[in-house]
Chains A and B, each alone.
Chain A
Amino acid sequence: MILQTVFIGLFGIAAIWFAVVVFRTHSMVRSALALLFSQAALGAMFLAMQAEFLGVLQIMMMATEMSIMAIFMVMFMMDPGGLGGMDMTHQKRGSQAAGVIGAFAALGVAFLAGWGSPAATVPGPQEQLRGLGLDLMERSMLIFETAGVTILAAMIAATAVALATRSATKQEGNDE
């Protein structure tokens, strides 16, 4: 129990530290990979909380997601290496205030609400996998199916939006 507390705390601090690094570094690739390590630290935290499947899933998904983010940042930004030291923030005060207020509101709810006594034991990983699978295929099947259809819709929508229109490609041809 003490070991679990220590590990949750350590990985939590790592996750927060990397999340702060995301917005403090000037190099875009660094900030994308800092986000990746923040999310991977969260995955390690889930492992410490004995949610084995979720932790491994988080670690796996985030590697791909954040690397793709890195390539888009390099594509879209003027200064991806951050060598110019450009300031890319606006409304700093307001957002700092919003961030602090948001965090404190969430902290307040977390610490003031009565959560009751925590469960001491959890089912083993094998049982968890089985329970999750049965839940997905029985009670939550409709929700899961909806998620699948949403993925399909989003894929089509994203491709349709990102496809080059005829006028855009013609403009590029004229520039050359």
Chain B
Amino acid sequence: MMPLYIALAVGAIMFGVGLYGALSQTNLVMIMMGVEVMLGGALVNLVAFWRFLHPTAYPGQTFFLIIMTVMALDMAVGFGVGTARFRARGSVEMEEARELKG
């Protein structure tokens, strides 16, 4: 029982650290790093549940692959937006992006 709890605790703390990072950083790239840390926490939980609760059910591993895809995609789209923003305004500081509020 112990390893499952340790893994879940690691996942939960990673999620907390990532949430702090994503909310506190002013730069787009750093915010994306926070999101990556949160997704990392989610991955730990997935693997822990697969290993300790349902080791013969492979959809858990499939779900892992999907989340990994999502991590790559959020980087790709985020950097696309970042490049466009940098070209237009010369910075990706999110404090300066207030005009997006509309």
> Contact: A39 with B40, CB < 8 Å?
yes
> Contact: B58 with A135, CB < 8 Å?
yes
For the complex, give the distance between the alpha carbons of A83 and B38 in Å.
28
Q: Which residues of B contact A (CB under 8 A)?
A: 1-30, 32-34, 36-37, 40-41, 43-44, 47-48, 50-56, 58-59, 61-62, 64-66, 68-69, 71-73, 75-77, 79-84, 86-88, 91-92, 95
Interface residues of A in 85-111 (CB under 8 A from B): 88-92, 94-96, 98-100, 102-104, 106-107, 110-111
From A127, which residue of chain B is reached at the shortest CB distance?
B56
> Contact: B40 with A115, CB < 8 Å?
no
Chain A residue numbers with a CB within 8 Å of B84 are 161-162
From A105, which residue of chain B is reached at the shortest CB distance?
B12
Q: What is the distance, in angstroms, from B12's C-beta to the closest C-beta of chain A? A: 3
Contacts between the two chains (Cβ within 8 Å), count? 248
Q: How many residues of A contact B (CB 8 A)?
A: 88
> Contact: B2 with A5, CB < 8 Å?
yes
Instruction: Judge whether A56 is part of the interface by a CB distance below 8 angstroms.
Output: no
Residues 8-31 of chain A, each 1 if its beta carbon lies under 8 Å from chain B, else 0: 110011011001101100001001
Chain B residue numbers with a CB within 8 Å of A9 are 6
Chain A residue numbers with a CB within 8 Å of B1 are 115, 117-118
For the complex, give the distance between the alpha carbons of A96 and B21 in Å.
9
Chain B residue numbers with a CB within 8 Å of A99 are 16-17, 19-21, 23
For the complex, give the distance between the alpha carbons of A38 and B44 in Å.
12
> Contact: A51 with B26, CB < 8 Å?
no
Q: What is the distance, in angstroms, from B52's C-beta to the closest C-beta of chain A? A: 4
Main DSSP-derived SS at the B contact region = helix
> Contact: B17 with A161, CB < 8 Å?
no
Chain A residue numbers with a CB within 8 Å of B32 are 69
Q: Which residues of A contact B (CB under 8 A)?
A: 1, 4-5, 8-9, 12-13, 15-16, 19-20, 22-23, 28, 31-32, 35, 38-39, 42, 45-46, 49-51, 53-54, 57-58, 61, 65, 68-69, 72-73, 75-78, 88-92, 94-96, 98-100, 102-104, 106-107, 110-111, 115-119, 121-123, 128, 131-132, 134-136, 139-140, 143-144, 147, 150-151, 154-155, 157-162, 164, 168
From B38, which residue of chain A is reached at the shortest CB distance?
A102
Chain A residue numbers with a CB within 8 Å of B13 are 16, 103, 107
